[in-house]
Structure 1
């Protein structure tokens, strides 16, 4: 390899290599059907419950030292969401196990849908011939490790780094440096590929990677107050053309 060749590629996982948002939508639909059957609620109330859960998930802070598992925390999200939306209706009070049922239906349905497509698998195999590949994903350890098992994707990478297992997650420079050291490369040898401007693109930029690639699968514009990606593509499958430019 010459000094101008990209030696390593860092990939985000969710909505970069796997369609987590789509899987989440499928899982929410199944929970909605459970709530409708169990509580006899109308679609508007069910939508409120599911939206409240998604908000709690988005704002979630998890501390393993607190003595509760991530499963217990998220069962609590469903319990609170149902109570906040419907209060103490008799049907709710008579279904104490409903939050647990909602959580495991949501969790297991999402994992069942998550997959590494054949096109992405082929791409990763081809890229690994000439590049070191590292998967760098933010998130709570159990949750992200379950996704890795469900998608059987670890075998396509030279290393996997889960943010929840480190003191800092993306966009912290420290976790990028950890990745560079793990692969035995310099920042300028690498590119960062991900769907989040706040974590993947800003983190890669601050860490000094050679280029950042934003997977913009929603078609939105880049806000003025974030780091600008060097490349923007609708899918990771466009990566070979970018690598050809970077030679």
Structure 2
């Protein structure tokens, strides 16, 4: 390893520091209940509507936006999901209700657990910390605000504000410049092999740390992290090894 100590840590946000997947499941449950009460349909049909919405979220990046806001796009996802499952049952008002309930319920559940907050406070005494998150700029900034990330990081970079997001090296170079460090001064911590680990490798950071909560093996052909931990709370052990 490099003889020089690590100077900076770049963190992913979703499912690395906050449980976005868990908050999403909770939000879907709340919206499922609203739809069941409003439409008086069986659980299978309501579940199908919610699953269609989630699929539309997954494919959102590849869809044309036509200048629409992310709120309008996602209200459209709910409207289309209902119409595709139940003939003539959707109205703009119902789609808007579903979207705002889903969105607000998800944001309400997002938080930095106390032990993660304490970890970030401790790390910031020794290292520069930067939050680098992919996604729509409005959506990610709403999460950042809801969680109160500004208090824990020297810089926050939202990929949606730039032409290229993780794993492209350009956004990592921006991060290095903002922190006034070199790539080899940094480690990248995240849960995605495709964006966080591959991005860190392409940007030539000192080390990559994969948050692997499921314990799955690294898939064949995927970027191989330098370190694997099940929770970000184990990061200090990794830093001791890197340094």
The bucket for the TM-score relative to the shorter chain is: over 0.9
Whole-angstrom distance in 2 between the partners of 1:3 and 1:72: 51
Q: Distance in 1 between matches of 2:75 and 2:196?
A: 29
Q: Does 1:183 align with 2:179?
A: yes
* Map of 1:173 onto structure 2: 169
Alignment correspondent of 1:231: 227
Select 1:161's aligned residue among 157, 160, 166: 157
By how many angstroms is 1:13 displaced?
Answer: 0.2
CA contact (8 A) 2:16 2:190 kept: yes
Q: Which runs of 5+ in 1 are unaligned?
A: none
In structure 2, the residue matched to 1:50 is 50
User: Matched residue pairs, number?
Assistant: 242
Displacement after TM superposition at 1:61 (Å): 2.4
Deviates more, 1:68-77 or 1:213-222: 213-222
Deviates further, 192-201 or 43-52: 43-52
C-alpha displacement of 1:82: 0.6
Partner of 2:112: 116
Query: Quick check: 1:245 aligned with 2:215?
Result: no
Structure 1 segments, 4+ long, off by >6 Å, are 62-65
Distance 1:121 1:68 in 2: 36
Q: Secondary structure at the match of 2:188?
A: strand
Q: Secondary structure at the match of 2:10?
A: strand
Which deviations, in whole Å up to 9, do the C-alpha atoms of 1:159-185 show, x marking residues without a partner?
000000011000000000110011111
Q: Distance in 2 between matches of 1:168 and 1:216?
A: 25
Q: Say if 2:131 is the partner of 1:135.
A: yes
- 1:62 deviation in Å? 7.7
SS of residue in 1 equivalent to 2:36: helix
Query: How far 1:3 moved relative to its partner?
Result: 4.9
How far residue 96 of structure 1 moved from its aligned partner, in angstroms, is 3.9
TM-score (norm 2): 0.96
Contact 1:10 1:191 in 2 (8 A): yes
| Residue matched to 1:61 | 61
Q: Does structure 2 retain, via aligned residues, the 8 Å contact 1:62–1:140?
A: no
Is the Cα contact below 8 Å between 1:212 and 1:229 reproduced in 2? yes
TM-score (norm 1): 0.95
Q: Distance in 1 between matches of 2:137 and 2:62?
A: 10
CA distance in structure 1 between the aligned counterparts of 2:87 and 2:210, rounded to whole angstroms: 43
Question: Is the CA contact (8 Å cut-off) linking 2:65 and 2:73 kept in structure 1?
Answer: no
Asked whether the equivalents of residues 14 and 20 of structure 1 are also in contact (C-alpha less than 8 Å), the reply is yes
> What is the SS of the residue equivalent to 1:193?
strand
- Return the alpha-carbon distance in structure 2 between the equivalents of residues 64 and 5 of structure 1: 45
How many Å separate the matches in 1 of 2:157 and 2:92? Answer: 38
